[in-house]
Structure 1
């Protein structure tokens, strides 16, 4: 799997997430201020709930924008070749007989990008898996907290 192509795809999917969150925030804000959502009684909280939703969506949009900005600012370092699992590593490992791809980044943990008939999951330093694989090279094994064993198959 080409790391530069993956990285560009990751940035594009995060930008799309940002645009969706902005649109959802605008929709919720419009609904919250719409005449139809005005409270008809003291127990009618529809407009209030929509305003909370708008604020949450705006917060999510900010997180996606910050993730894109951080990844872009670290682009050169993240795309350097790696021989060990570390920040910027695109690696494949096998856990309980199932091969999976991961990208080690400082942000966007849990985000999944589908490409080349495979899913690549972004992990961050705070993830459990990162704590188990950090510093490992191709061929090295690791043990997860649930007892499953894994092997690093490749590191880019």
Structure 2
């Protein structure tokens, strides 16, 4: 899989998410400031709720804008076995049951899922338990994490 193509797809998806969120924030803002939504009593909270929603969406838009910038500036290096897995690595993991998963260790946008070459790639960050565990690992290394008191073990199959 081509990491450069993956990065481009991530930037495009973030741009799409930003556009959708921007329209939603504008709608919430218009609802919050519309003259019909002025509170008539303390129980009339539609305008206030829309204001909170618009504020939250504006924060999320800023997070997406920052993530876009980080991905556009991200230098994608070839995998170096001496340094091991680092931000920008595309990793293939195999679970004990043989199931494969593809992960991209990115600077932001954790949880984003992108389809590339017919494979579903999940973006994770070094702040996640799995991302932390992967840093510095090499091909054929084992990675163990505990999620909700359940231990999960993976083998690093391939890194690009």
Q: Same fold by TM (over 0.5)? A: yes
Q: 1:154 maps to what in 2?
A: 158
Structure 2 unaligned segments of length 5 or more: list them: none
Tell me what 1:30 maps to. 30
User: Where does residue 132 of structure 1 map in the other structure?
Assistant: 133
Residue 57 of structure 2 is aligned to residue 52 of structure 1: no
Is the counterpart of residue 123 in structure 1 residue 124 in structure 2?
Answer: yes
33-42 vs 23-32, which deviates more? 33-42
1:70 aligns with 2:96: no
Partners of 1:82 and 1:36 lie apart in 2 by 58
Q: 1:82–1:88: 8 Å Cα contact kept in structure 2? A: no
More displaced stretch, 138-147 vs 128-137: 138-147
RMSD (Å) for aligned C-alpha atoms: 1.4
Distance 2:41 2:143 in 1: 59
Give me the whole-angstrom Cα distance separating, in 1, the residues matched to 2:78 and 2:12: 22
Asked if 2 retains the 8 angstrom alpha-carbon contact of 1:113 and 1:119, the reply is: yes
Shift of residue 128, structure 1, vs aligned partner: 0.2
CA distance in 1, matches of 2:8, 2:122: 15
Distance 1:153 1:85 in 2: 12
Tell me the alpha carbon deviations over residues 4-52 of structure 1, each in whole angstroms, 9 at most, x when there is no partner.
1111001100111111111111010001111232223221100000011
Q: Report the TM-score, using the length of structure 1 for normalisation.
A: 0.91
Give the TM-score of the pair, scaled to structure 2: 0.89
CA distance in 2, matches of 1:99, 1:18: 31
Q: Which structure 1 residue ranges, 5 or more long, are not aligned? A: none
Number of residue pairs matched by the alignment: 153
